[in-house]
Structure 1
Amino acid sequence: MARLVTVFGGSGFVGRYVARRMAEQGWRVRVAVRRPNEALFVRTYGAVGQVEPVLCNIREPASVASALQGADAAVNCVGILNEVGRNTFGLVQHHGARHIAEEAAKAWVGRLVHVSAIGADPAAQSAYAQTKGEGEGAVRAAFPAAVILRPSVVFGPEDQFFNRFASMARFAPVLPVTGGNTRFQPVYVDDVAQAVALGVTGKAAPGIYELGGPEARTFAELMESMLDIIGRPNRLVLNLPLFASAAMGTAFDLLQRLSLGVFTNSILTRDQVVNLALDNVVREGAAGFAELGIAPVAMEAVLPEYLWRYRPAGQFYGIREAAKGMRP
């Protein structure tokens, strides 16, 4: 019988690529999510019955244990950027990660891969980075042989980074950014999934790996490159002062609390501003793609494949530009 891997958060941005890779390698894939009915699309990643979504809430140990029954390996891709309702940073990224590691150890699951983030640190000022660090600590304590991956900002067709700002650039003459001088090392989502697959199959040694793309650039430089790709280089990239961004984030956070869930702050949070003040690149000497034998893909090789829809003429932008030089 084919081996079984449980992918927590397997319908999310990174998780769906992990599920697809594992299915392609012949594994049965159990996609553990809070809303299985919204994850039915993962079934198309494999043969009939090979990839199945199941109900799981990682805040509850019993739910995690049920999702791990019979599994040979487990992957935790769950993470949040903003606290909404009971899904707080602590409950999801710290205690949720602990539940997965502890239940995996109890169930004698062979391998565990935990997807964290660059900057994870229990002593961080940001609640996001702090709980990511606490989650890593809990995973190592319960499952010492775990593979922990720390990617920089992840890009790909479904990302909420380049897609978000490219969408804004279609209508706004000014593109405001927070932490314009902060350096990032964007990493392609399928490269992260490949690293996960190596951990699941035992081809990656236990430990922590920091994953960054071939090049580190500032936030402002990334936006300028994106604007060139979508054919809107005339947009102004405005670097907002951190104090102004902090005030905006605080206001949006307050609005979310006062609206009792009607408004969800997906714009900018105070905690995100704290994170955006720090570089998000691979540390010197840290294990990474090189140790995994993976050559990371450059942004320029992928971004045009999905950002074309934000160009002035969409897929016909290149033809229109070429036609400008033709004589009537």
Structure 2
Amino acid sequence: MTGATGFVGAATLDLALSRGFTVNALTRRPQPARKGVTWIAGALDDADSLDRLVADADAVLHIAGVVNAHNRQGFIDGNVKGTMFLVDAIRRGAVRRMVHVSSLAAREPELSSYGWSKELAERHVMAGGLDWTIVRPPAIYGPGDQEMLELFRMASRGLMVLPPDGRLSVIEVHDLAHLLLALCEDRSDSVAQIYEVDDGTPGGWSHADFGRAVGKAVGREDVRTLAAPRWLLNTAARADGLFRGKGAKLTTDRVSYFCHPDWVSNPSMRVPPAIWQPVVGMPAGLSNTVKAYRAKGWLKAAS
């Protein structure tokens, strides 16, 4: 597994261990010992560590990736080259099964450097001669996530600034983790498939409805939502860049795909129900996320 120390990877690792999997997990930094995990010190640009990672594996689950970068080269290094190097290592190790976590952004590669890099990474996976499956998650939320944390904080204050009118799909992180492990075990129906996944809500959510659902979860039934024009979001992105530098959460690249009106998963690309179905609905998933945020001290009570 790559990305085991990140948001999605950590949830997936916990689930894998609870189900008795033994896992080789790539890490850049020393990690505490865990029963069932062999931590492989290295990186996606370190061939030796990748060879050790895939040694004797039944399947390789590639979760690691860059969601935010200062420039296009950052996405190339993190998403494109990293995937290429991993595919090469899998082939050297004679492993057949690879499950690759991409993004819904990959279906619109012209909108952003992020989406472009994820689509290009998908091509390398498909050309690698492996028994691959590609998963394109939409917006992922859940306990431990920091990418959506500011939305919850805005809701707690009573006003959510959102992208222009549009619709999106979402998925809770534990639902996604269950899917990824199910795909690692599958060797037939899911091979050579690209899946777009979600929480099972037909047609997804409007931005405003999603905002109100977050508001309800944090205890603000009266939360107001503001659909900000693209120029305003770009201005905010530039300000965030000046204030936080490479640590900025809002960038002009992210604004480009945030403002796309249709990030709803394609129902014709759903996972067969015999393999996986989502079970975590929005109200429960958001409520659990809020509880986890508050337990960590990341989110104050609604004001």
Task: Tell me the amino acid that sits aligned with residue 240 of structure 2.
Answer: F
The secondary structure found in structure 2 opposite 1:36 is coil
Task: Tell me the amino acid that sits aligned with residue 217 of structure 1.
Answer: W
Consecutive unaligned residues in structure 2, runs of 5 or more: none
Structure 1 position 52, deviation (Å):
3.1
Match of 1:103 among 70, 89, 94: 89
Q: CA RMSD in A?
A: 2.5
Contact preservation (8 Å) 1:122, 1:131: no
Aligned to 1:220: 208
Matched, 1:136 2:119: no
Matched, 1:59 2:42: no
Query: Equivalences for 1:152-301 in 2 at 5 Å?
Result: 152-170=138-156, 172-179=157-164, 181-202=165-186, 205-206=190-191, 207-215=193-201, 216-253=204-241, 264-266=247-249, 268-278=250-260, 279-288=262-271, 290=273, 292-301=275-284
Contact preservation (8 Å) 1:94, 1:135: yes
TM-score (ref. length: structure 1): 0.80
Aligned to 1:76: 62
Larger Rg: 1
TM-score (ref. length: structure 2): 0.87
Structure 1 position 105, deviation (Å):
1.4
**Higher-RCO chain (CA-CA 8 Å, sequence separation at least 6):** 2
Distance in 1 (alpha carbons) for counterparts of 2:15 and 2:252: 36
Consecutive unaligned residues in structure 1, runs of 5 or more: 1-6, 315-328
Task: Tell me the amino acid that sits aligned with residue 288 of structure 1.
Answer: V
Distance in 1 (alpha carbons) for counterparts of 2:30 and 2:129: 27
Task: Tell me the amino acid that sits aligned with residue 243 of structure 1.
Answer: W
1:184-203 residue CA offsets vs partner (Å, 9 max, x unmatched): 11112122111111221125
Matched, 1:89 2:87: no
Distance in 2 (alpha carbons) for counterparts of 1:132 and 1:284: 21
1:233-258 residue CA offsets vs partner (Å, 9 max, x unmatched): 233222110111123223433556xx
Distance in 2 (alpha carbons) for counterparts of 1:122 and 1:95: 20
Distance in 2 (alpha carbons) for counterparts of 1:51 and 1:114: 20
Distance in 1 (alpha carbons) for counterparts of 2:281 and 2:91: 37
1:249-284 residue CA offsets vs partner (Å, 9 max, x unmatched): 23433556xx5x5xx112x11011111122221124
The secondary structure found in structure 1 opposite 2:106 is coil
Aligned to 1:23: 17
Distance in 2 (alpha carbons) for counterparts of 1:284 and 1:302: 21
Number of equivalenced pairs: 292
Match of 2:289 among 296, 306, 309: 306
Calculate percent identity across the aligned residue pairs.
24
The secondary structure found in structure 1 opposite 2:208 is helix
